Amino acid sequence: MKFGPVRQDIRNARRFVGDFEMKWVPLREGVAGAAEIAAHELLEGWAVRRSEDVRPSVKFLGHWRREFSLPIHGNITITDEVGASLIVEFTGTATGLHLTRHEYSGIVEIELDGLSLGPVDLGGPWRQDNETLLTLTGLPNGDHRLRVSVIGRGADSQGTECVVRSVFLPRGSTVGGGSASMAHDAWQPLPDVLALHARKDCNVGDLMSTPSHYVSFLREAEPHDLHAWHPRYNLATTSRLAFTEAVTRRPLIVGGGGLLTPYFLPALEYINHSAQRPVILWGVGHNYPNRSTWRADFDSPAFSVSSFALVGVRDWNTRFRWVPCASCLSPLFDVPREPVRRIGFFLHANEPAELGYFSRKYPASDIMTNFGDFAETLDFIGTSEAIVTNSFHGAYWATLLKRRVVALPTSSKFFSMRHPVLVGSRRNWPDLVGDAPIHERALAECRSANVDFAADAYRVLASAG
């Protein structure tokens, strides 16, 4: 159903119904926490609850899905089904919803305690201020029921989407009988945490794989090179002793990167048996030299996780929880890029044979190594229609940017990706690249898995003190 102009314009509109006020406040897109700031300006002492954090207290009727949203550093809940609705049952004097308006947004019907407040057209051209906050204030103190239903498509809209980012309540109110405080509100930096990952060289995948770059409560975590434990690098005894002291007495975030390999397993085993504080493996993956037996090696008891508080691996269909590399949370994946070349070769700098082979056959402008800047790497990948690579992160990041991928395997790391890539060789990659899939929802799914894991990790680390 398509509607003509409706009677409620969301831009700076305000109307009074009984003793309460319904106000639409345009919010600037791209400013993290804009809705939260506006809510606190409207009602001092409000609590914010992301749309995924109020499930099942808030009822989502019909077909809704979750996706990651960078501006709020969390998930949003979306439907495009006419007839779908959400119901917020709360006790208090006010509530609010953070919604989004764009060219695919539909018309919603707002009801409070069975009283219709009229249809509201969320559709319209994308604007820099397309974030909108609906507040209902001045209500009698008691139980209330807010319902928002999708009823159709407006005259200026191309769709019927309804995007719910957050629910607001004054602190002390309850929603669905539960507490109004939200786990993300309590996320404070945890400076005692040690962030361990591979940092010995310029491998951009290793350097960008630690969640401490992206997760708010890890921003003050102390980075440390996992290589410091390995005797191969002949590091000073004092450095090794300092590392040993740190990993046994401080909470640890280990990852990401291909750390589940014979090279790093001794260090992980030491941590497993010696750590006295919580240890969390985040986005680590298998990286076995033998590509035919990796599954047996990976599933064997040789890799013990008995003392780890949480384990999230980037590999799919294993005995562990799937948590892909946290680099997907970077805002650089949201930068628009248009292809300027058909094939880009993204090659591991530590594989000179492959690098030399492709360098002799193709222009330098079509080749980049993994020893580069992160932003420049994503620009190179994003401006290629397809990527041929022997780098795990080259394949992963190209998948997130919706590019076709052919992987040239050097270890087991390409064989259990959640969003599979085609595996080829120097000779047959041209025959495969046209059939390589594009995974449209990979970025949203990877971000969602990381946000969920972050909430669990915070609870573990914060409760440990």
Last residue of a domain, one of 295, 329, 363: 329
Residue 305 has pLDDT above 60, yes or no: yes
Number of H helices, E strands in the chain: 10, 27
Tokens representing 395 are 């394949």
Q: Enter the tokens of residue 389.
A: 């690579």
pLDDT of res. 392: 97
Residue 76's DSSP bridge partners are 67
Within this chain, do residues 64 and 94 fall inside the same structural domain, yes or no?
Answer: yes
Read off the CATH number of the domain in which 413 is found: 3.40.50
pLDDT on residue 239: 56
Mean predicted confidence (pLDDT) in 124-137: 66
The answer to whether 25 and 143 have CB atoms below 8 angstroms apart is no
Residues 6+ apart with CB under 8 A from 427: none
Considering the domain architecture, whether residues 319 and 348 belong to the same structural domain is answered as no
Q: How confident is the model at residue 73 (pLDDT cuts 50, 70, 90)?
A: very low
Is 160 or 36 the better-scoring residue by pLDDT? 160
Radius of gyration from C-alpha coordinates of the chain: 25
- Please tell me whether residues 139 and 126 are part of one structural domain: yes
* Residue 68 pLDDT level (bands cut at 50, 70, 90): low
Q: How confident is the model over 214-240, as pLDDT tens digits?
A: 888 887 888 888 877 665 554 455 556
Specify the 3-state DSSP secondary structure of 71.
Answer: helix
Tell me the average pLDDT across 426-431: 95
Do both 282 and 141 map to the same domain? no
**Structure-token match 């398509």, residue found:** 2
Report if residue 415 sits inside a domain.
yes
What six digits make up the tokens of 374?
A: 């992160």
Strand pairing of 194-197 and 252-254? parallel
Residues 316 and 360 reside in one and the same domain: no
Q: How far apart are CA 27 and CA 135, in angstroms?
A: 13
CATH number of the domain within which 173 lies:
2.60.120.260
- Structural domain contains residue 463: no
- pLDDT attached to residue 232: 58
Confidence grade of residue 21 (pLDDT, cut at 50, 70, 90): low
Give the total number of structural domains in the chain.
3
pLDDT: which is higher, 250 or 224:
250
pLDDT reported for residue 121: 84
* pLDDT tens, residue by residue, 346-386: 999 888 888 899 999 999 889 999 988 888 999 999 999 99
Domain shared by 127 and 66, yes or no: yes
Look at residues 155, 186, 217 and tell me which one is the last residue of a structural domain: 186
Q: Do 324 and 216 reside in the same domain of the chain?
A: yes
Q: What is the pLDDT of residue 463?
A: 86
Percent of the chain with pLDDT over 90: 32
Share of the chain above pLDDT 70, in %: 73
Token pair 């946290």 is at which residue? 326
Q: Does residue 167 share a domain with residue 22?
A: yes
pLDDT at position 303 over 80: no
Domain assignment present for residue 434? The answer is yes
User: Greater confidence, 278 or 112?
Assistant: 278
Using 50, 70 and 90 to split pLDDT, how confident is the model at 325? Answer: very high
Q: Is the pLDDT of residue 453 over 90?
A: yes
Range of the domain at 339: 331-443
> Backbone dihedral region of 249: left (phi > 0), alpha (psi from -120 to 50 degrees) or beta?
alpha
pLDDT over 90 (residue 344) = yes
Of 154, 186, 218, at which residue does a domain stop? 186
6 part of a folded domain: no
Residues 181, 91, single domain; the answer is yes
24 and 99 share one domain: yes
**pLDDT over threshold 70, residue 175:** no
Cα separation, 55 vs 33, whole angstroms: 21
How far is residue 169's CA from residue 346's CA, in Å, rounded to a whole number?
48
DSSP letter, residue 161: B
The answer to the question of residue 459 being in a domain is no
Do residues 225 and 209 lie in contact, with contact meaning Cβ atoms separated by under 8 Å? no
In terms of domains, do 135 and 115 share one?
A: yes
User: In this structure, are strands 422-423 and 174-175 parallel, antiparallel, or unpaired?
Assistant: unpaired
- Residue 291 pLDDT greater than 80, yes or no: no
pLDDT value, residue 130:
56
pLDDT value at residue 13? 41
Exposure pattern of 206-218 as b/e (b: 16+ CB <10 Å)? bbbbbbbbbbebb
Residue pLDDT, tens place only, 378-407 = 999 999 999 999 999 999 999 999 999 999
Residue with tokens 């609870």: 459
**Highest mean pLDDT range out of 184-188, 263-267, 364-368?**
364-368
Considering the domain architecture, whether residues 171 and 28 belong to the same structural domain is answered as: yes
Mean pLDDT, all residues of the chain: 78
Identify whether 78 is part of a domain: yes
72 or 112: which leads in pLDDT: 112
301: confidence class by pLDDT, cuts 50, 70, 90 = low
